[in-house]
Every structure is written in structure tokens, then in C-alpha cells.
Amino acid sequence: MVSRKPALNQSGSPEFVFRVFTTVPEFQVLLFLLFLLLYSMILAGNAAIIWMVCTQSSLRTPMYFFLCNLSFMEICYTTDVVPLMLSNILGGQKPIPLAGCGTQMFFFSTFGSIDCFLLTVMAYDRYVAICHPLHYNLIMTQKLCVQMVLGSVGLALFLSLQLTTFTFTLSFCGHRLEINHFLCDVAPIMRLACADISMHEAILYFAGILVLTVPFLLICISYMFITANILRMRSAEGRQRAFSTCSSHLTVVLLQYGCCSLVYLRPRSSTSEDEDRQIALVYTFGTPLLNPLIYTLRNKDVKGALRNAIFHKAASDTS
């Protein structure tokens, strides 16, 4: 059993403060500018994907419908965290109330879970496109695509609500508590509790399996069938085209699931709070920033649509 300090008799709800990255003013300014630049690039890159999918008729397919939703979730995901993070870098340790911390945790868990589920849906879309190309339009109807996105959102909302509610049933040791993190994530909040959290950690691990392991296994199964089908293709050009449609998605999957698994699926005894915070920086800034770059640089359809959009914009400006 994990020993905890007794709860202090403080009036009012507890408040939380995030541990600062550095107390050196010059470094604070540099970090603020760096994270602001990354956040701006995330917003611009993902907004460009959404704009292209909505305006270019060549991208109005199920694959890019899912990509558009993924980019929107990436914008929501980072916006839930980064503005408050930037405020704390320059403004010091501003407290966040219990309700505010719970709200951030809920939306952070929700958007992160939706990302994982959408990547699974996109793997199924690639499976149907490559393994059942003649029936693709019959299977991947607009109705089914919308249902899969709504199902991903609904499941993520349900799981996040349960996890957030369960986390904040804990009693905390004091009134003003410091979180060794830059956001209200489940694990660092649990570490501030006054009671034994072994059951809570087990439930967090189980939730991680539901959100990470099960979808990743489904993605792996999809790609097993995809790989087998590609290897049976006689045309080298056909194999190359099939591989190119999957490589971008597979790269994003490895980035997303790799980073999240290091935080949520490692045994608690082998993790440190500083390591979790460093890895969290990668999946908070790295994957939302790389997603539009990967899909733009490695996808001929997106690059072609981007060139067409820029050409038409330039032509309309000169006319």
C-alpha cells in the first residue's frame, strides 16, 4: 500500500499550480517564443489541411474526411493546453482551481482519445480501399463515415468523463498543490492524493489499454491484411501506389501511439515525473505539428491540391 500524507484541514476547494520550466527570465522568454512559434505552426498547418479538404473537390473522399476531422481534433487538443501553458511561463505560478483543472483534464483526455480512435478508423478505410477496391464506394458511404467519427467522439467523451470523475473523487493533501507538469493530466494529479491510489492507477492503466492497446492492435490487424494484399499485387506501380497511401498514416500512428504508450502504459515504478513531462511535450507539440507535414510531404493528392489552391489564389489576386 502506498503511504500518503494526511489531508490538511483547509477550507475551500484545492488549487493547483504548474511547476515552472525555469526561473531564469531570459530562458522564460525563449521558451515562450519557442512554444508560441510551435503552436502557431500547429494551428496554421492543421487549418491548411482543413481548408484544402473543404475547398478542393479532389480531396472529398472518406480518407480526407477523416484527415480533416483529425486535424480539427489536433487544433482542439493543443488549444486545451498551450494557451494556459504560455500564460504560466511568463506569468509565474498562477493557480488553477479544481474545476478548471478537471475541465482541462476532461478535454485533454477526450481529444487525445478521439485522435487514437480516428487513426483506427483511418486504418480501416485503408484496408477497405486496398483489399476491397471494387466495393470501396459501397462500403465507405458518407453515412458510415459520419457514424464512425461520431462513434469515436461519443466513446472518447464517455471514457474521459468516467476517468476524470473518478480521479477527482480523491482527497488531496492541502489547499495549494504543485503539479510537476504543464497540464492537468491524470497521473500527476493522482500523485497529489492523500489516499492509496493503487486502484486508481490500475484503472488508469486499464483505460490506457482501451484507448491505446486495443486500437493499435486493430490497426496492426488491418495492416497485416493490407501488407498481404500488396505483396500479391503483380504490378510494381500498383504496390508503390498502395504503399504510398498507407505510409503517411502509418508514420502518424507510430508517432502517436509510441509517445502515449511511454506515458500511460509503462509501469509506474519505472517512470519519473520529469520523464513524463518531457514525453508529454513531444505528443503535445510534436505529433500535431508533424501530422500536417507528413500528410503534405508524403501524399501526392494533398501536394497537388495545395499547388492548385495556391495557383488559383494567385490567379484570383492578379485578376
Which tens digit of pLDDT belongs to each residue from 21-37?
877 888 889 999 999 99
The domain tally of the chain equals 1
Q: How far apart are CA 246 and CA 294, in angstroms?
A: 12
Q: What pLDDT digit, counting tens, does each position of 76-97 carry?
A: 999 999 999 998 888 777 888 9
Q: Is there a domain that residue 32 lies in? A: yes
- Full-model pTM: 0.86
- Tell me, yes or no, whether 225 lies in a domain: yes
3-state per-residue secondary structure call for 252-319: HHHHHHHHHHHHHCCCHHHCCHHHHHHHHHHHHHHHHHHHHHHHHHCCHHHHHHHHHHHHHHHHHHHC
CA distance 124 to 134: 15
Alpha carbon of residue 108 to chain centroid: 8
In-domain check, residue 233: yes
8 within a domain of the structure (yes/no): no
CATH (domain of 24): 1.20.1070.10
Count of Cβ atoms closer than 10 Å to residue 11 Cβ = 5
Residue 1 in any domain: the answer is no
Residue 293 included in any domain: yes
Q: Which structural domain range is residue 138 located in?
A: 15-311
CB of 263 closer than 8 Å to CB of 276? yes
Given this model, what pLDDT does residue 270 score? Answer: 52
**Residue 220 burial (C-beta neighbours within 10 Å; 0-12, 13-18, 19+):** exposed
- What is the tens place of the pLDDT at every residue in 146-199? 999 999 999 999 999 999 998 888 888 777 888 888 889 888 888 888 877 888
Does the residue 215 lie in any domain? yes
**Residue 319: inside a domain:** no
